[in-house]
């Protein structure tokens, strides 16, 4: 590993460790964490759809829509996404319009970020290896509504207080891991197949005094993802992934598919 790689790795994971004091969720629930380690300098725009595997393939209330961009410069790739449940999108619109009593405390959108450091791969080398880390933050319906809604009655004020209390506890999750991939040339295109184990740190914050024990604990869980990317004329790319692991005491799995357009960048 070169001095540049060692320096960047230290900065990347130092920033991620420092982010543990923030309020965030590291992955959009219902969407795999895409970490294809084969990328090159460039910029891409992507859109994805995903949901838990036990919900089948038909879109429903647990279907997640996600959109974002990626930028890669040399061995460093940076991605940013915003995702939300399908039924959350309409609820967020209602909250933004000021109908706060129509807001569900569980309604949220999630902004997430991912940093990858490529250690090897690209060009004629069919194998790719990267380290990655990420963090993200939930924006609840109340976060959207509170800037445009002003209670005018005692009942409205009481509702706002109860609403705020119901979403008081925040969860921080930060995944760190490694991704390995192989490039398989085909007749008219190619396949980039990858797999990525990761460990996710969970930390709660903003707990009420009656529940302070929750915020004093730091937990962790192991998850993994595997996926495939199919570039088309180096501009358009189609991707899919499967993500599985523990959430609490249960094993929860997601599938996701998407497409991107651009030159280079992370797919």
DSSP state of 132: E
Specify the range with the lowest mean pLDDT, choosing from 56-70, 97-111, 199-213.
97-111
Q: Are 25 and 138 in contact (CB under 8 A)?
A: yes
Q: Is the pLDDT of residue 18 over 50?
A: no
Which token pair is 86? Answer: 């399908």
62-89 pLDDT, tens digit each: 889 999 999 999 999 999 998 888 776 6
pLDDT exceeds 80 at position 181: yes
d(CA 153, CA 101): 13
Supply the pLDDT for residue 89: 64
- Report, in this order, helix, strand and coil percent for the chain, each rounded to 5: 25, 50, 25
Query: 87: burial class by Cβ within 10 Å (0-12, 13-18, 19+)?
Result: middle
Task: HSE, CB side, 13 Å, CA atoms: give it for residue 148.
Answer: 14
Identify the sign of the CA torsion 154, 159, 165, 171: negative
**C-alpha span between 267 and 250 (Å, rounded):** 30
Element (H, E) at 207: none
Mind listing the pLDDT tens digit for each residue in 47-58? Answer: 999 998 988 887
What local confidence, expressed as pLDDT, does residue 59 receive?
79
**Is residue 199 predicted with pLDDT exceeding 90?**
yes
**Pairing label, strands 218-232, 76-85:** unpaired
Residue 200: which H helix or E strand, with range?
Answer: strand 190-205
User: Rounded to the nearest 10 degrees, how much is the dihedral formed by the CA atoms of 219, 79, 34, 9?
Assistant: -60
Nearest to 243 by CA among 204, 192, 200, 191: 200
Look up residue 179 and give its two tokens.
């991704």
Tell whether the model's pLDDT for residue 217 goes beyond 50.
yes
State pTM to two decimals.
Answer: 0.76
Q: CA-CA distance, 152 to 203, in Å (whole number)?
A: 36
- pLDDT for res 160: 58
Contact 181, 205 (CB under 8 A): no
> What is the rounded distance in angstroms from the CA atom of residue 70 to the CA atom of residue 217?
33
CB 85 within 8 A of CB 111: no
Question: Which of 102-106, 133-137, 185-189 has the lowest average pLDDT?
Answer: 102-106
Q: Using pLDDT thresholds of 50, 70 and 90, give the confidence band for residue 34.
A: very high
Could you tell me the domains of the chain? 3-265 (2.40.160.20)
Please give the helix or strand (H or E) that residue 188 lies within, else none: none
């Amino acid at each position: 590993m070169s001095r540049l790689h060692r320096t960047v790795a230290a900065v990347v994971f130092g920033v991620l460790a420092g982010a543990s004091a923030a309020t965030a969720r590291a992955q959009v629930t219902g969407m795999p964490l895409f970490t294809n380690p084969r990328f090159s300098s460039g910029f891409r725009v992507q859109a994805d759809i995903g949901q838990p595997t036990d919900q089948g393939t038909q879109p429903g209330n647990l279907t997640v829509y996600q959109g974002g961009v990626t930028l890669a410069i040399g061995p460093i790739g940076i991605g940013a996404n915003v995702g939300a449940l399908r039924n959350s999108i309409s609820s967020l619109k209602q909250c933004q319009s000021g109908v706060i009593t129509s807001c569900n405390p569980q309604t949220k959108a999630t902004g997430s970020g991912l940093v990858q450091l490529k250690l090897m791969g690209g060009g004629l080398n069919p194998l790719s290896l990267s380290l990655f880390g990420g963090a993200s933050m939930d924006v609840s319906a109340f976060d959207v509504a509170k800037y445009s809604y002003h209670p005018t009655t005692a009942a409205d004020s009481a509702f706002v207080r109860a609403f705020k209390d119901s979403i008081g506890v925040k969860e921080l999750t930060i995944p760190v891991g490694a991704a390995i991939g192989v490039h398989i040339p085909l007749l008219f295109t190619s396949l980039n197949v990858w797999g990525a184990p990761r460990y996710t740190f969970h930390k709660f914050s903003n707990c009420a005094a009656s529940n302070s024990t929750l915020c004093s604990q730091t937990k962790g869980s192991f998850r993994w993802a595997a996926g495939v990317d199919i570039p088309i004329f180096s501009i358009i790319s189609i991707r899919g992934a499967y993500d599985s692991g523990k959430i609490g005491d249960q094993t929860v799995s997601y599938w996701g598919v998407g497409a991107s357009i651009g030159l280079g960048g992370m797919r």
